[in-house]
Amino acid sequence: MYRLLDQLLTDDPGIGWADGQDARLLVGDVCDVAASTMSSVSYQGQHQDLNTLAHGINTQLVRGGVRPAAGDWAPLRSVAQRLAAYAQDNRQQFLRRARGE
């Protein structure tokens, strides 16, 4: 997930990164959000579940210092959706993380 997040943030000039932020910590927090969301009993991987996951990831990105450079939040939402899709594709790894394995 680290490489994907780094690539997405680097490739999109519409997203700014707060100075002094540690990307590794942010990735860990994003992974925790994904693991927690996907380990919920109600999570089935459906469209609404992916939207919920993307929203949680988006919130964590903002908490971690990622901001839209020009006030347009669409690029940040797009990054969150890509990360949510990645997490869904690798769901078993995130479920193992949630179990502490």
Contact in structure between 16 and 66 (CB atoms under 8 Å): yes
Contact in structure between 11 and 89 (CB atoms under 8 Å): no
Which token pair is 7? Answer: 């690539």
**Whole-structure pTM value:** 0.90
In a domain, 47, yes or no: yes
Nearest to 79, CA basis, from 69, 66, 88: 66
Give the count of domains, the chain.
1
In a domain, 29, yes or no: yes
Domain that holds residue 39: 2-8+23-99
In a domain, 16, yes or no: no
Q: Stretch 42-66: mean pLDDT, rounded?
A: 94
In a domain, 15, yes or no: no
Give the model confidence (pLDDT) of 72-83 as tens digits.
899 999 999 999
Give the model confidence (pLDDT) of 20-51 as tens digits.
677 889 999 999 999 999 999 899 989 999 99
